[in-house]
Amino acid sequence: MSAPDAADVVRGRFEPGATEPLIFELGHPGRANTYFPNARALEEFLPAQTLRPDLPLPDNSELDVIRHYTRLSQRNFSIDTGFYPLGSCTMKYNPRVNDAMANLPGFRDLHPFAPDELAQGALALMYDLERYLAAIFGMAQFSLNPAAGAHAELAALLIAKAYFAKKGEGAARTTVIVPDTAHGTNPASAAMVGYKVVSLQSDARGRVGVDAIKAVLGPDTAVCMMTNPNTLGLFEDHILEIARAVHAAGGLMYYDGANANALMGNARPGDMGFDLMHLNTHKTFSIPHGGGGAGHGPVGVAAHLVDFLPTPVVRKTGDRYALDFDRPESIGPMRSFWSNFAHAVRGFTYILANGGDGLTKVSQLAVLNANYVRVKVREFLDTPYDEICRHEFVASAQELKRETGVRALDLAKALLDHGFHAPTMYFPLLVPECLMIEPTETESKETLDAFVAALRSIVEQAKRDPQAVLAAPTTTVVGRVDETRAAREPDLRWKAPA
């Protein structure tokens, strides 16, 4: 294999179109650092059947490895390098104090098999975090066990199944109602548990109508899954009547708390009549997330469902803490050991650092920022649900597309050239050419103004010179890719040069 030119590697790292060589291509036989004089070759540690002559193990110096991965990391867009208004994903700043606490040796080095007596501090943290979440969201109890939002949805629906089975209604309660504004994970989770999904169309105000829900409720209704504020950024203002109707039909109300950044400290799902809920602590409580990384999805329940929560739960007796696995009605563990414990530490730190009043202010500022951007964006793009929003709002490029051929996707790509991550696109599905913008509370007025100015200039350019926008991005390392081909014909294998 021929080694890439070192000067090119250095020069080309940020240039559009430049490619980073693979780690194999950067290596040379004998280059790897040897830290022990009699060190054995790496191959000796691996079972023979895992080794392939056509795929040699990379032989690189430590410095080459560090530089390679650092260069790759610098090609990524990140919340630490730029504004990331990805709707429904709450890409807020993750305070470094969270990491400092998660890295305290007593937490970081704790063995997952440590007996309870040696893990009192960690158990106390989990116990207190659970109590805080229950108080903030008005639920009887949470489990910190699920590892992400979708995982917690699955847990909640398994709890609902167990609950109806115990009541003798397991065979009758077969449907889950999901509004068309819901995240795709909602119907997917319901289907995974074996429920039939009943999709509910939003009304002209972008909300679930009371009559519409009454029309689909029946003795087969198990759960109604709602996100509030919904993914249009709108508060479901008939939520109390909806909850009453679902309960009157014998069903359970499920709260998708991915948007909790909009109401934390200001309103509680428990008070709205929800029986089950999940949180994306990785969003609301500022834990690095995205790219499929580790998440944290506590699932909370009202008093009548506590016995079904996943195992284990932390029990406090006097001033001692212990993991309780002896819960005969539990749905069982969703995740091994203590789940993503380091994330529990981060979320806990965030709550303590802000305090109750601070959390209230966080969501108020998130709502203020979203409305600030919304009223500016509506000067040059349609905002279909034109009213005060919560923490996010949707704009539509449909009219622009008709006029110029420039779509939401093209605006999103062009934003990269201005140094901004794209908003969420084409979701929720009911808004054509949708851009879903969530600024979060951690952004300054200057950043929001710069984002609006960039979006405005792209829209103006689309009217003057649509081809220029269609060609974007032109300043990024990877330009416009064929997304369909990339998805349908991914070519991910490394091949040795002929």
Contact residues: ligand PLP, CB under 6 A: 88-89, 148-150, 183, 185, 227, 231, 256, 258-259, 280, 295, 297
In the complex, least distance from residue 230 CB atom to ligand PLP, rounded to whole angstroms? 8
User: How far is C-alpha 117 from the chain's CA centre?
Assistant: 34
Please, what is the minimum distance in Å from the beta carbon of residue 436 to ligand PLP? 10
CB of 135 to ligand PLP, least distance (A): 22
- Is residue 194 within 8 Å of residue 162, measured between CB atoms? no
CB of 148 to ligand PLP, least distance (A): 4
What's the min distance (Å) between Cβ of 391 and ligand PLP? 12
Rounded to a whole number of angstroms, the minimum distance from the CB of residue 343 to ligand PLP is 11
Comparison of 90 and 175: residue with beta carbon closer to ligand PLP = 90
Min separation Cβ 210 and ligand PLP, Å: 22
- Per-residue exposure over 40-64, b if at least 16 CB sit within 10 Å of its own CB, e if not: eeeeeeeeeeeeeeeeeebbbeeeb
Residue nearest to ligand PLP (CB): 149
Instruction: Please answer whether residues 285 and 347 qualify as being in contact, where contact means their C-beta atoms are separated by less than 8 angstroms.
Output: yes
Q: How far apart are CA 384 and CA 293, in angstroms?
A: 33
Q: For residue 480, give both structure tokens.
A: 């416009």
Nearer to ligand PLP, 252 or 258 (CB): 258
Report the nearest approach of ligand PLP to the CB of residue 86 (Å).
9
- Phi, psi values for residue 52, rounded to 5°: -130, 130
Cβ burial of 468 (10 Å; 0-12, 13-18, 19+) is middle
- The residues facing 434 across adjacent strands are 396
Contact yes or no for 412/422 (Cβ under 8 A): yes
Q: Report the alpha-carbon distance of residue 276 to residue 84 in Å, rounded.
A: 30
DSSP letters for 102-143: HTSHHHHT--TT--GGG-HHHHHHHHHHHHHHHHHHT-SEEE
Measured from the CB atom, the residue of 155 and 448 that comes closer to ligand PLP is 155
The DSSP annotation for 309-332 comes to: SPSPEEEEETTEEEEE---TTS--
Quote the least distance from Cβ 388 to ligand PLP, whole Å: 20
CA distance 244 to 434: 32
Nearer to ligand PLP, 262 or 415 (CB): 262
Give the residue with the Cβ less far from ligand PLP, 280 or 354.
Answer: 280
Give whichever of 289 and 401 is closer to ligand PLP, judged by the CB atom.
Answer: 289
By C-beta, is 199 or 475 nearer to ligand PLP?
199
Helix (H), strand (E) at residue 178 = strand 175-179
Closer residue to ligand PLP, CB minimum distance, 262 or 414: 262
Q: Which of 258, 281, 296 lies closest to 391 in space, CA to CA?
A: 258
Burial degree of 430 (CB within 10 A; 0-12, 13-18, 19+): middle
Q: Is the peptide bond before 21 cis (omega within 30 degrees of 0)?
A: no
- Using the Cα atoms of residue 242, residue 243, residue 248 and residue 249 in order, give the sign of their dihedral: positive
Give me the least distance between CB of 261 and ligand PLP, in Å please.
11
Conformational region of residue 91, where left means phi above 0, alpha means psi within -120 to 50, and beta covers everything else: beta
Nearer of residues 21 and 297 to ligand PLP, judged by Cβ: 297
The H or E element that residue 336 is part of is none
Q: Name the residue nearer to ligand PLP (CB basis): 133 or 406.
A: 133
Closest distance between ligand PLP and the C-beta of residue 154, in Å? 10
Nearer to ligand PLP by C-beta: 231 or 363?
A: 231
